[in-house]
Chain A
Amino acid sequence: MGAPSGLVWIVAGVFTARSVVGARPGLAWGIACLGAGLRWGTLGLADVGVSARLFGPTVVAGAPLVRAGMIAAVVAALVDESRREAATDEGWAGRGASAAAIVALVALFFAPGSADLIPSAATWAIGAGIGAGVVTAARPATRLLPAWLPPGLAAVGVVAAQVAL
């Protein structure tokens, strides 16, 4: 079913939802999500969870340059999400995609990793609520940034992390 490569399906699902409502897909977010998988050498959500249990969440695990790269990637993704038009302008499908995007960032970068769905979902929900608040609060400032900055920063972060691994 492709579930072992679930990160690709998460990204593809969000891109599809956004494309059919005519919204920007969120390149920096996509780079960050797959970059987190690349940092752990996997495209599986469960594999990232196991790695987080063993070594700590993605943003705090590894050598300093790896951590810096992953932090840059997730910050770029959050800025990119923040720069979007108000979620209400993207319809229910766009809102759903944005929610999934924030949850994915929490699960991939900040969650400690759990084998069970219920505790994981609770952690993700709390984290996503905080993330949504941060994204909304930062919108006036992030909308002043150039469009190329978030994907550029995410790309630099992912490359730096890979080189430092």
Chain B
Amino acid sequence: MTLLLLGIGALAAALGTRAAVLLFAGAAVLGALGPALPAAAAWIAATAAGLALLPASPRRLALPALGAAAALGVGTAENTAVILALWVIATATAVATRGPGEGARSWAMALCLADLPVVGAVVWTAFAVGFEGWPMRLDGTAAALVLAAAVLRAPLASGPDDEAPEPGLLVVRTQTVVAVILALSATTNPRSLLVTATLLGAAGFAAGGLSARPATRDGIQELSLVALVIAAARLGWAPAGWEWGALAAGTLMHNLRLRIGQSRASALAGALLVGGGIGLPLLPVVLVGLEGATRADGWIGAGILLGLIGGLAGRASSVGVVAAATGRASRLSVVGTAALIAGIAAGLWAPLLSLQGTPSVGAVGWPPAWATAAVLAVAGLGAALGGAGAGDRPQRARTLGEVRLPDRWAPPALLRATLAFLATGAGAMWVTGILRGFL
């Protein structure tokens, strides 16, 4: 039903009507209640609804929404024969909506190449495990290949450029989340794969924080945290279900980022979004990851900690760069500054509350009235003094450029040939499934 609503929503978007918002929202609700990949279905559909509310025409969402539905189908289908077809359909919709330019073409080429591990995983599973092995009987080899596909895709989940976020945010992001969930949820996963996934998640969070492009930074960090919390939960280091939190935070961040500059609240939203601390929607998920680090063995816990703190520092370092590059994180209003300072002061005060209680057990009480008054006084004083607005002192932070294929490696003919190869492989798997009596 979720996939059907997404499909109808895509049709409504193709017709150019904002009714697509309601259909995508309905798909999000049904997805959350559904049995298969509820977190992914709910928040991808919610992302589509948010994108449909932007001023641009909803027509641009039609194909990516269909691609997202196909990618979600990969997580719900139980017959290996159809997996590759659904996956390649999703990739094809992203490639088709990439927009003009050589940069977009090289992005599409990278996307097609990132499908190769999935091809390997599907073929391996079909012939080594069986056509009915998908997804819960993925063995270690197939799970590692699917995880590799997710790692390769994560940097592409921001889309080819900021003018065309839909193929990235709806299709590639969905594929990556589905790949991560499938790779880490198989019952036969070896522990080493899960440990590797936690470290990859932490490393990805750190690398994402250095990305020069905000959309890429947000996408990589969100998807890295999804991998980290799922693997940590499987290892017993963190509570289960925090992929919901990571995807919810990611959806909020993507929507905020796309709306910066469009409302009076955008300066405050921008300051919270680009910062690496209080107000960052991903922070509660980072906290879960850090709790996991305290339960991990030796250097693994230290590795997780270093990756997560590095990612936060990378974000915090980039605020001046973003302000200088885009001019979007403009000065905060007095109220915005006060709200931001109140958040910071409360964040610094909160740890002291635990000193009065019994450590590790029991509830931590609310702050006394005088402490609340002190936080508000600091906020008011800070706002009155000024000088704490985002981008007051743009700085130069070290960032990584976009990791992308050279344009000369992605001529139009080669892109078409690669896509045709993937489509042929998907068709061959389908035919094989029919010949073997599985379809």
| A43 close to B350 (CB less than 8 A) | no
Residue in A closest to B300 when the chains form the complex, CB atoms: A162
Interface flag for A59 (CB, 8 Å): no
A50 to B360, CA, bound (A): 10
- Report chain B residues within 8 Å CB of A21: 387-388, 392-393
User: CB-CB contacts of B327-344 with A at 8 A, as 1s and 0s?
Assistant: 000000000000011011
**Interfacial residues of chain A within 1-42, with CB under 8 A of chain B in the complex:** 1-27, 30-31, 34-35, 37-38, 41-42
In the complex, B301 has a CB within 8 A of chain A: yes
Bits for B381-394, please: 1 = Cβ < 8 Å to A, else 0. Answer: 01001011111111
Asked if A92 is at the interface (CB within 8 A of a chain B CB), the reply is yes
Rounded to whole Å, the gap between the CB of A5 and the closest CB of chain B is 5
Q: Are A43 and B317 in contact (CB under 8 A)?
A: no
Contacts of A22 in B (CB 8 A): 319-320, 323, 391-395
What residues of chain A lie closer than 8 Å to B299, measured between beta carbons?
159, 162-163
Q: How many A-B residue pairs have CB under 8 A?
A: 198
Roughly how many angstroms separate A72 CA and B364 CA in the complex, as a whole number?
Answer: 32
Q: Does B35 contact A (CB under 8 A)?
A: no
Distance in angstroms between the alpha carbons of A159 and B202 in the assembled complex: 15
B306 proximity list for chain A (CB < 8 A): 31, 155, 158-159
The residue that A10 contacts in the complex, of B302, B320, B351, B389, with Cβ under 8 A, is B351
Whether A30 lies near B312 (C-beta < 8 A) is yes
Q: Are B350 and A1 in contact (CB under 8 A)?
A: yes
CB of B241 closer than 8 Å to a CB of A: no
Count, chain B residues at interface, CB 8 A: 64
B178-230 with Cβ < 8 A to chain A:
none
- Do A7 and B351 touch (CB < 8 A)? yes
Q: Given the known inter-chain contacts A27-B309, A45-B354, please indicate yes or no for A4 contacting B364, CB distance below 8 A.
A: yes
A38 touches B348 (CB 8 A): no
B361 CB to nearest A CB, Å: 10
Contact of B360 among A30, A42, A120 (CB under 8 A): A42
Counting chain A CB atoms within 10 Å of each CB, the highest count among B284, B319, B357 belongs to B319
Task: Name the interface residues of A44-94: CB closer than 8 Å to any CB of B.
Answer: 44-47, 49-50, 91-93
- Whether A2 lies near B387 (C-beta < 8 A) is no
Q: Answer whether residue A165 sits at the interface, using C-beta atoms and an 8 A cutoff.
A: yes
Q: Do residues B277 and A19 form an inter-chain contact, with CB atoms below 8 A? A: yes
Interface size of A by CB at 8 A reads: 57
Contact A163 B359 (CB under 8 A): no
Is B280 a contact partner of A12 (Cβ separation < 8 A)? yes
Quick one: which of A1, A13, A38 contacts B294, CB cutoff 8 A?
Answer: A38
Set of chain B residues within 8 Å of A12, measured between Cβ atoms: 276-278, 280, 283, 312, 347
**Which chain A positions have C-beta within 8 A of B356?**
115-117
> Would A44 and B360 count as touching, CB distance under 8 A?
yes
**Chain A residue at minimum C-beta to C-beta distance from B352:** A117
**A20 contacts B313, CB within 8 Å?**
no
Distance to closest chain B CB from A112 (angstroms)? 14
User: Residue B136 at the A interface, CB < 8 A?
Assistant: no
A100 near B: Cβ within 8 Å? Answer: yes
A45 contacts across to B, CB distance below 8 A: 351-352, 354-355
Chain B residue at minimal CB-CB distance from A25: B316
Q: Could you tell me if B277 and A11 are in contact, using CB atoms closer than 8 angstroms?
A: yes
Decide yes or no: A1 and B353 within 8 Å by CB, A22-B393, A100-B348 being known contacts.
yes
Known: A15-B277, A35-B305, A158-B305. A20 touches B390 (CB 8 A): yes
B31 on interface, CB distance cutoff 8 Å: no
Give bound CA distance, A30 to B306, whole Å: 9
B172 interfacial by beta-carbon distance below 8 Å = no
Determine, out of B4-12, B75-83, B152-160, B285-293, the stretch whose residues face the partner at the interface. B285-293
Is the Cβ of A162 less than 8 Å from the Cβ of B287? no
Q: Smallest distance from the beta carbon of B338 to chain A beta carbons, Å?
A: 12
Q: Could you give 19 example pairs across A and B, Cβ below 8 Å?
A: A1-B366, A6-B350, A6-B353, A12-B278, A15-B276, A15-B312, A19-B277, A20-B275, A25-B317, A30-B309, A31-B305, A31-B306, A42-B294, A45-B354, A46-B354, A155-B302, A158-B302, A161-B302, A162-B298
Q: Can you add 17 more A-B contacts, CB < 8 Å, to A11-B277, A43-B290?
A: A4-B360, A6-B354, A9-B278, A13-B277, A13-B344, A13-B347, A15-B316, A16-B343, A19-B274, A21-B393, A22-B393, A25-B316, A42-B359, A44-B360, A45-B352, A49-B359, A117-B352
Q: Which 4 A-B pairs have the closest CB atoms?
A: A6-B351, A22-B393, A16-B277, A12-B277
B: which residues have CB within 8 A of A? 271, 274-280, 283-284, 286-287, 290-291, 293-295, 298-299, 301-303, 305-306, 309-310, 312-313, 315-317, 319-320, 323, 340-341, 343-345, 347-348, 350-357, 359-360, 364, 366, 382, 385, 387-395
